[in-house]
Structure 1
Amino acid sequence: MSIGVGIALVVVFVIVALRIPHGGVTGWNTPDSVAMIAFAVAVAAFLLRYAFVHATPTPEGLHVTNLIVSRDLDWAEIVNVQFGNGAPWLTLELSDTETLAVMAVQRSDGAFAEAEAGRLAALVEAHNRPPRDD
């Protein structure tokens, strides 16, 4: 969705920037058109980054990519998985007392988000469970 919106935004802004009459009464000039297109490209770049937000489990741990920061966590680093304190996305409590938001799982996704949080919690538990001594 965000990729499509970003492309549409750039197309519309380019068309508008090129079709606005330059000079005369409007006072519109070439730098204004360039600025308008640059703004559209900047917003589209942000939306593209938002499209690549994800959390990928691996045998070694969890790779989390948020808007700004990407981080690889070992399973042992993750202590708890929760939607805490009304946060809009999933939060991981880490063994170093830090927390890490997982923007890929958003509370607004309702039942799907709850299912994904449960699945991630089960993965954390399975990887952190001590081996049995049967």
Structure 2
Amino acid sequence: MIARPRKVRFVSAGFAVVFVGVFTLVAVLLKNTPTGVFFQTSDQIAMIGIGVLLAVGALWFTWPMVSADASGVLVRNMLAAKFVPWSDVVAITFPDGASYARLELPDDEYLVLMAVQSIDGDRAVAAIRELRKLHRAAQSAS
């Protein structure tokens, strides 16, 4: 089972296109400004580079992923990935009003599943159900 955020992809892709488009347009128009400042080709390239960097930053929000199998769950959030065996998972929850699902761990700790977002609606519900099914199967096998 693999889960990734869906609606965030469309929003991030839209922002990425806008960033590259706007910064490219500004770069093209940069030499034609009557401000008395002389912009070089390197300034234009730098402006496009800034747009590309902002686009990569926007697309970074599509990075989260949850992958689960009989052995456990691999959670990849924005900065790090972590594998959690089913034996360490107490429950899979989606608290009221929360943006993300989470794995409840021992000692009142939890791990946020940024790939399972409330904005995705039915896809998030299906992902939670599949995770719970795998968790039950792993508990009954041990």
Same fold flag (TM > 0.5): yes
Aligned-partner residue type, residue 118 of structure 1: R
Q: Name the CA distance, whole Å, in 1 between partners of 2:46 and 2:123.
A: 40
Gap change, CA 1:66 and 1:91, over 3 Å in 2: same
Percent identity over the alignment is 30
Aligned-partner residue type, residue 103 of structure 1: M
Q: Name the CA distance, whole Å, in 1 between partners of 2:38 and 2:94.
A: 49
Q: Name the CA distance, whole Å, in 2 between partners of 1:7 and 1:68.
A: 23
> What's the secondary structure of 2:31's corresponding residue?
coil
Gap change, CA 1:126 and 1:11, over 3 Å in 2: same
What is aligned with 1:104?
115
> What's the secondary structure of 1:84's corresponding residue?
coil
Q: Name the CA distance, whole Å, in 2 between partners of 1:58 and 1:115.
A: 15
Q: Name the CA distance, whole Å, in 1 between partners of 2:75 and 2:108.
A: 18
TM-score norm. by structure 1 comes to 0.78
1:99-119 deviations in Å (ceiling 9; x for gaps): 111111111111221121121
What is aligned with 2:25?
15
Q: Name the CA distance, whole Å, in 2 between partners of 1:6 and 1:104.
A: 19
Which segments of 5 or more consecutive residues in structure 2 lack a partner in the other structure? Answer: 1-9
What is aligned with 2:16?
6
What is aligned with 1:117?
128
Aligned alpha-carbon RMSD (Å): 2.6
Shift of 1:35: 5.3
By relative contact order (CA 8 Å, sep 6+), the higher-ranking structure is: 2
Task: State which of 67, 73, 76 in structure 2 corresponds to 1:62.
Answer: 73
Aligned-partner residue type, residue 18 of structure 1: V
Q: Name the CA distance, whole Å, in 1 between partners of 2:46 and 2:90.
A: 47
Which segments of 5 or more consecutive residues in structure 1 lack a partner in the other structure? Answer: none
Q: Name the CA distance, whole Å, in 1 between partners of 2:53 and 2:110.
A: 29
Aligned-partner residue type, residue 48 of structure 2: I
What is aligned with 1:81?
92
Count, aligned residues: 131
> What's the secondary structure of 1:59's corresponding residue?
coil
TM-score norm. by structure 2 comes to 0.74
Task: State which of 56, 68, 81 in structure 2 corresponds to 1:45.
Answer: 56
